[in-house]
Amino acid sequence: MPPGASKRPTRSLRFTGPCHNLPICDAPAFVVKILIVGSGGREHALAWKLSQSPRAERIFCAPGNAGTELIGENIALAANDLEGLAAFAKENRIGLTVIGPDDPLAAGIVDLFDAKGLRVFGPRMSAARLESSKIFAKEMMRKFRIPTALAGSFDRSEQALQFCKRLQFPMVIKADGLALGKGVVIAQSCDEAIDAIDAMMNQGRFGEAGRRIVVEEFLRGTECSLHVLVSGRRYCLLATARDHKRAGDGDIGPNTGGMGAVSPADNWNAEAEARFHREVMWPLVDGLAEGGTDFRGLLFPGLMMTAEGPRVLEFNCRFGDPETQAILPRLRSDLLTLLEATADGKLDDCALTWDPRAAVTVVMASGGYPGKYETGRPIRGLDSCVALADVYVFHAGTRRERGEIVTAGGRVLAITALGETASRARARAYEAVAQIQFEGAHYRRDIALPLVRANVAAH
Ligand code: AMP
Ligand code: GLY
């Protein structure tokens, strides 16, 4: 029996699939002003979903994008302007602030809001270390016996190189700190491992984030993104998703923030879920609580589904991007109530209902992304997507300039479609993508394709 399995058999709230038709907790009649921090597709999806709440009075996004501007009001405050954001929330009597990206969490935005008596969704800095320090995350996994890759943590390059001799190739070299999703190198040879370790530890490629590193064994399998609302020892699993991290079709090319997603994940089943609760979530929430950490927010473990079962690759402490754009269009429950309950430590009052259909999200990116790219390219065809049923166009790197919407980042749009099957959702999403043009646009043509192929093979 895996560690923790017998400890506490019924602690989690398992409101996962479409079948749980439980009523949402009685919502108090007051309305709430909401502030969403961030400017990506994830934040547009959060703003869109939160705006559907009957209690959402007004939505602000800081700094937002050309999509969030259609839902609420964009505020010219950067996501890392913690004092400015807190002052805005206080002055405008914001009832709930939702933090999108990892940086402000790592910088302590939640601690600051808490100190000022402002209600905020996200973990405090000490809990957000699960994402902002891979060494800390590994220590916690070791302590709570959560299955993960065999690894060593190092602050001296000679020791790291010694440890490499114990592993086989490929092996994985990870910067300890936040590195915009670029701090992981899969080294295929000794030379590549030496180069990666030297670049991170001696040449400062990721600044302070890479001065300490994790070296770990390479795990084989397929990845799965879990999104879990956690409030102390209580937690609630959202629908599963699969990201497509590499830039090119067939999973080739450099890693990106994510080029597309599909929900639900095809590599998830009841057995995987049972093991996830027993082997990951129960030991984690118990271990954190016993150590005095009251995690409140969204925990997003990235898993590798190996032949031996789920293994944790990393913990993120915020919603995934683009997973959120695939998950939220399937959520029928009131997200505002859920986030409030999580922030207030009352998660046990809530239940979820889901649209049983599949969601497929295709990311359209600027030419050159994830490397160098240009911005300011006009985006055409957005209006023609409005007429398409069950299609959602989430903006990421966009801004309004002289009356038109132009590109303003690497990932520009995330187009989600729902369908009775992943195949139908996929066809609809690509139909919408075909309507949209901007100079240099590129996107993967194979989002959800493995899933579609597997389903065809199975019938
Ligand atoms: P992380 O930021 O730790 O999730 O790593 C980013 C990506 O690198 C993951 O989504 C995986 O695709 C890959 N990766 C990380 N760790 C491993 C590992 N131990 N084995 C195989 N692939 C990995
Ligand atoms: N899509 C992966 C992430 O948000 O980290």
| Per-block mean pLDDT, blocks of 10 residues, the chain (459 long) | 32 35 47 98 98 98 98 98 98 98 98 98 98 98 98 97 95 95 91 96 95 97 97 96 95 92 97 97 98 97 97 98 98 96 85 95 97 97 94 98 97 98 97 98 94 57
Q: Is the CB of 40 under 6 A from ligand 2?
A: no
Helices 125-132 + 134-143 axis angle, to 10: 100
Q: Ligand nearest 224 Cα, by number?
A: 1
Q: Is the CB of 183 under 6 A from ligand 2?
A: no
- Where do the domains of the chain lie, and which CATH numbers do they carry? 32-125 (3.40.50.20), 150-217 (3.30.1490.20), 357-459 (3.90.600.10)
* CA 245 to ligand 2: nearest atom: 1
Q: Is the CB of 323 under 6 A from ligand 2?
A: yes
What's the pLDDT score for residue 428? Answer: 97
| pLDDT tens digits for range 58-111 | 999 999 999 999 999 999 999 999 999 999 999 999 999 999 999 999 999 999
Query: Phi, psi (5° rounding) for residue 298?
Result: -105, 125
* CA 311 to ligand 1: nearest atom: 19
Residue 198 CA to ligand 1 centre (angstroms): 20
Distance (Å, rounded) from C-alpha 457 to C-alpha 459?
6
Task: Tell if the pTM clears 0.85, that is, is over it.
Answer: yes
Residue 220 CA to ligand 2 centre (angstroms): 19
Give the per-residue SS3 of the chain.
CCCCCCCCCCCCECCCCCCCCCCCCCCCCCCEEEEEEECCHHHHHHHHHHHCCCCEEEEEEEECCCCHHHHCEECCCCCCCHHHHHHHHHHCCCCEEEECCHHHHHCCHHHHHHHCCCCEECCCHHHHHHHHCHHHHHHHHHHCCCCECCEEEECCHHHHHHHHCCCCCCEEEEECCCCCCCCEEEECCHHHHHHHHHHHHHCCCCHHHHCCEEEEECCCCEEEECCEEEECCEEEECCCEEECCEEECCCEEEECCCCEEEECCCCCCHHHHHHHHHHHHHHHHHHHHHCCCCCEEEEEEEEEEECCEEEEEEEECCCCCCHHHHHHHHECCCHHHHHHHHHHCCHHHCCCCECCCEEEEEEEECCCCCCCCCCCCECECHHHHHCCCCEEEEECCEEEECCEEEECCCEEEEEEEEECCHHHHHHHHHHHHCCCECCCCECCCCCCHHHHHHHHHHC
Q: Ligand nearest 246 Cα, by number?
A: 1
| pLDDT tens digits for range 164-200 | 999 999 999 999 999 987 899 999 999 999 999 999 9
Residue 247 CA to ligand 1 centre (angstroms): 15
